[in-house]
Amino acid sequence: MTGRWSIDGDVIDGDNGDFKVEEYKRPTMEIAMEKPADAPLPGEPFEIKLKVKSLSGADLNHVKIAYQVIRERTYYYNTPYINPIVTDTLGYTDEKGMLVIKVNDVNLPKKNLNNPDKELVISYRLSATATEATGESISQENTFYTSSWPININIPAAKQHDRKNLPKLNITAKTENSKFKVKEVHISIFQNIVVPDTTRSETIDQWLYTKDQLKAWFPNEESLQR
């Protein structure tokens, strides 16, 4: 049944909420985002492509797309900063149903952008809504990252190895930015040692209530069965 509905919890919890039920409307188009093929470094301009097409596969030209790009967070030495909107405007798809969004984060602080000893990671969020001439609209939201160390390191190691027959690992490093050249990869291997927790004792040294009382109140408590 369509309409707006509400749910009220009991008096103790007091949880409540509401939701809306509408008739299902099958969409006739879809929107997809294509991230930059060459991952940009922090501070570099880059392009994002939005593709709009009908579910029958046909490209939709001259479709209005309102979009917004926000620099969500900047991580430098694990310190987050909330940052402003990078762009907020609209555009129209070309004859192939494509809209190219040019992004240039001119307000990004330039300090520490090229520090070779620390990684700078910036996340951007794109929100886009495409509206056709009929009034139908569809939205897309996606997040992607730029890094001053755009490297993927692959270590093909299994979870367990026989210590008497340790394999040779073919470790590879691949960059996602053609301008970034990998010179050296430093790898450290550590042995994980399980340290027993001695801060918690399983022995009860004092009872505020008798065991019989507690067993009656909490029949499933394991510590009372000892």
Domain ranges in the chain are 29-151
Roughly how many angstroms between the first and final C-alpha of the chain, as a whole number? Answer: 54
Least confident of 63-67, 84-88, 188-192: 188-192
Q: How many residues does the structure list for the chain? A: 226
Segment 88-105 mean pLDDT: 94
Residue 203 is predicted with a pLDDT of 66
Residue 204: the pLDDT is 64
- C-alpha to C-alpha distance for 132 and 29, rounded to whole angstroms: 9
- pLDDT 10s digits, 100-136: 999 999 888 777 677 777 888 888 999 999 998 888 8
pTM as predicted: 0.63
Domain spanning 29-151, CATH class: mainly beta
Q: Say how far apart CA 94 and CA 44 lie, in whole Å.
A: 25
With contact defined as beta carbons under 8 Å apart, do 135 and 115 qualify?
Answer: no
